[in-house]
Structure 1
């Protein structure tokens, strides 16, 4: 069985995620994020990899979030004049981690937010001892 090629927005972001992979880890998607200091999100077979400036003021940090640390993945309900209301008419996702830490991601399109949500949820539910 072959693994599909990863979905990504920018080649250089994909290369950064590739450089940080563990043995046997696969990339499913790398999405560019919107907002001040926003970086990008890598979704792999073992974890989420977040590159952003929220941890260090003048440098980007790579933050790894194993799926078993994620308590909730939520899609924002946002009215869209063209598509109406709906949980996947928004480009925002919220992750709640153990210990009340949370992340909000704004993607460059509702389709990317939906894909990220579904990948993350699938991994949360299929982790050994998953939620």
Structure 2
């Protein structure tokens, strides 16, 4: 079981698909950035600590980021 993320940090506007095994995930965190326009325009992200680096995934809306956080955390706790 793995978490698959799209990484946009490469030079030249290139995208990479990064696959992280659940067994390598040390922690998962969520960060919310509320917009003045309300819940619709708010953004959130999750951070996945793999020991050597922290991968980030951005979401549009708090509920999507929270769902991803909870799903990843559930899988991490149940695969060990």
Query: Comparing both structures, which one devotes a greater share of its residues to strand?
Result: 2
Which structure 1 segments of 5+ residues have no match? 1-45, 84-88
Note the C-alpha offset of 1:54: 1.6
Structure with the bigger RCO (C-alpha within 8 Å, sep 6+) is: 2
Residue 98 (structure 1) aligned with residue 51 (structure 2): yes
Which structure 2 segments of 5+ residues have no match? none
Equivalent pairs, count: 77
1:1-131 paired onto structure 2 within 5 Å? 46-76=1-31, 91-99=44-52, 101-127=53-79, 130=80
Larger Rg: 1
Normalising by the residue count of structure 2, what TM-score does the alignment of the two structures yield?
Answer: 0.76
Query: CA RMSD of the aligned region, Å?
Result: 2.4
Local SS of the residue matching 2:26:
strand
